[in-house]
Amino acid sequence: MRKVLALIFVFISLIVSSGAPTTSLKAEEVVDVPILMYHSILKSRKGEYILSPDSLKNDLVWLKDHGYQTVFVSELIDFCEGRADLPEKPIVITFDDGHYNNYYYAKPIFEEMGFKATINVVGTYSEFSTTSGDFDNPNYSHLTWSEIKVLQESEYFEIGNHTYNMHNFKPRYGIGKKPSEDYEAYKKSLTEDVSKLEDCFKDKCGFTTNIFAYPFGKYSEESYEILSGLGFKAFLTCNEGVNHLTKGDASKLKHLKRFNRSGLMTTEEFFKHAKIY
Ligand SMILES: [Zn+2]
């Protein structure tokens, strides 16, 4: 009986020792990263794309209490290109459209909490606020070029490209190709538009970015080909879901998913909706 047991033990040991594939990735090389998408922060009203400053603060306190650490989109690029690691529970916070109220309400909260966010700005909005003189109303102003420079140079914010003037429904839907347009004409329009915003960043703020947020989440294989050809490396969609990133695999940055933070939900409802625990 003892001999039989010993044989069974040897047999099981053989199965166990041969069971682990030698090419398996280490746990820290595959990381789940949720990305959150905010827009306006206002006290005066709330909506699908407008959240109160108190709710924003609640979100950040909730994340801190649950052990999350914010990272920039650029840190996801570093990880996916194999240059850096991510913290144990990473999360990315993004703000779209470059509202001045991000500067007015969100900036002090992020500084107080030591949190980071990536702000994706629209060139025409920032140009208008800079040149019109209407630059300091949280209800409708957008970030001026000098505020964008301040944000990019701070340790709590970085800036992404959300097109110069393609954040529209007409004559095309976001960066979508017009039905009548051939590939070359489309490539020229898209290239000129996003390059114009990069030139503004470079000339007025002293930096360039390789982060791109698709207006209204509209994208295609063609747009990816054109934008990656221009040097963009991380692409933010509006598709909901958690991102499964692998160290050294830059293809994972192609269609990054994000959860829209609706102002109509409480902090608890939102994180339950996003399955973030
Ligand atoms: Zn937008």
Can you spell out the DSSP letters for the chain? Answer: -HHHHHHHHHHHHHHHHHHS-TTPPPGGGEEEE-EEEE-EE-SS--BTTEE-HHHHHHHHHHHHHTT-EE--HHHHHHHHTTS----SSEEEEEEEE-BHHIIIIIHHHHHHHT--EEEEE-HHHHHHHHHHS----TTT-B--HHHHHHHHHSSSEEEEE--SS--SSSSSSTTPPPTT--HHHHHHHHHHHHHHHHHHIIIIIS----EEE-GGG---HHHHHHHHHTT--EEE-S--S-EEEETT-GGGGTTB--EE--TTS-HHHHHHHTT--
CA–centroid distance, residue 96 to ligand 1 (Å): 5
We report the CATH number of the domain holding residue 214 as 3.20.20.370
Task: List, for residues 55-87, the tens digit of each pLDDT value.
Answer: 999 999 999 999 999 999 999 999 999 999 999
Poorest-pLDDT segment among 17-21, 65-69, 127-131, 197-201: 17-21
What global pTM score does this model have?
0.90
CA–centroid distance, residue 120 to ligand 1 (Å): 8
Q: How many CA atoms lie within 13 A of 190 on its CB side?
A: 30
* Residue 4 pLDDT level (bands cut at 50, 70, 90): very low
Q: What is the pLDDT of residue 13?
A: 44
Q: What is the pLDDT of residue 158?
A: 98
Residues in the chain: 277
Q: Is residue 9 part of a domain?
A: no
CA–centroid distance, residue 48 to ligand 1 (Å): 13
Q: With contact defined as beta carbons under 8 Å apart, do 60 and 109 qualify?
A: yes
According to DSSP, the β-strands at 30-33 and 243-246 are: antiparallel
Q: Is residue 199 part of a domain?
A: yes
Q: With contact defined as beta carbons under 8 Å apart, do 142 and 100 qualify?
A: yes
CA–centroid distance, residue 251 to ligand 1 (Å): 23
Q: What is the pLDDT of residue 12?
A: 44
Q: Is residue 52 part of a domain?
A: yes
Task: Give how many domains the chain has, as a whole number.
Answer: 1
Q: Is residue 25 part of a domain?
A: no
| Predicted confidence (pLDDT) at residue 1 exceeds the cutoff of 80 | no
Task: List, for residues 149-208, the tens digit of each pLDDT value.
Answer: 999 999 999 999 999 999 999 999 999 999 999 999 999 999 999 999 999 999 999 999
Q: What is the pLDDT of residue 27?
A: 61
Rounded average pLDDT over 107-130: 98
Helix 123-132 / helix 183-200 crossing angle, nearest 10 deg: 40
CA–centroid distance, residue 150 to ligand 1 (Å): 21
Task: List, for residues 84-117, the tens digit of each pLDDT value.
Answer: 999 999 999 999 999 999 999 999 999 999 999 9
Best CA proximity match to 159, nearest among 97, 224, 226? 97
Task: List, for residues 24-60, the tens digit of each pLDDT value.
Answer: 666 669 999 999 999 999 999 999 999 999 999 999 9
**Rounded CA separation 47/172 (Å):** 26
Q: Identify any residues that bridge with 244 across adjacent strands, giving them in sequence order.
A: 32
CA–centroid distance, residue 200 to ligand 1 (Å): 18
* Residue 6 pLDDT level (bands cut at 50, 70, 90): very low
* Residue 215 pLDDT level (bands cut at 50, 70, 90): very high
Domain assignment of residue 253, given as a range: 33-273
Q: Is residue 19 part of a domain?
A: no
Q: Is residue 111 part of a domain?
A: yes
Q: Is residue 187 part of a domain?
A: yes
